[in-house]
Amino acid sequence: MQKITPCLWFDNNLDEAIALYTKLFPDVTILEKTQYGEAGPGKPGSVLTATFEVGGQRLMCMNGGPYFKFNEAISLFVLCEDQAEVDHYWNGLTADGGEESQCGWLKDKFGLSWQIIPKDLGKLLGDPDREKADRVMKALLEMQKIEIDALYSAYYG
């Protein structure tokens, strides 16, 4: 078991979030769910907490109500193999009210920030040829969803 597990605070829509993440990611495992009882403060029988693993990362989530909101200071980083995988996660997480941002960042409809990043990005940005790396950075800064072919076009000039 992980010693440290991030805990995400949802506004009474945790079941909906788990349904979305289970649909998008092929390897979600629900490890535990607890429900509110008669003592509240949530509706008895509704989900209080859920612990699940996605991509090998354990997350604990709770339906805590409207008191705290997600912000960009914390995001979930998804390393993608290719453009099809970038497109899959990007489209799925921005659907039904998600928001696109810049440089591979987005917020899902629950307000949780994600980074959808192709594995080649680090290699291109870290190239010792600073002219190539700078061209990639300039192209990246103009993107919302990352387009791998456009990064390589910039890289090769």
Angle, alpha carbons 106-107-108 (nearest 5°): 120
Tell me the pLDDT band of 87, cut-offs 50, 70 and 90. very high
Contact of 12 with 49, CB cutoff 8 Å: no
Which pLDDT score is estimated for 1? 64
Phi, psi (deg, nearest 5) at residue 116 = -105, 100
CA atoms within 13 A on the CB side of 11: 9
The percentage of residues in the chain with a pLDDT greater than 90, rounded to a whole number, is: 94
The CA distance from 131 to 28, in Å, is 41
Is 1-65 in CATH node 3.50.40.10?
Answer: no
The structural domains of the chain, with segments of one domain joined by +, span 1-65, 70-157
What are the tens digits of pLDDT across the range 22-72? 999 999 999 999 999 999 888 899 999 999 999 999 999 999 999 999 999
In this prediction, residue 2 carries a pLDDT of 80
pTM of the model: 0.93
- In the predicted model, what is the mean pLDDT of the chain? 96
Cβ contacts of 15-18, under 8 Å, gap ≥ 24: 15/47, 16/110, 17/61, 17/108, 17/110, 17/112, 18/50, 18/52, 18/61
Considering only 37-46, 68-77, 78-87, 139-148, which range has the smallest mean pLDDT? 37-46
CATH number of 70-157: 3.10.180.10
pLDDT at 77 over 90: yes
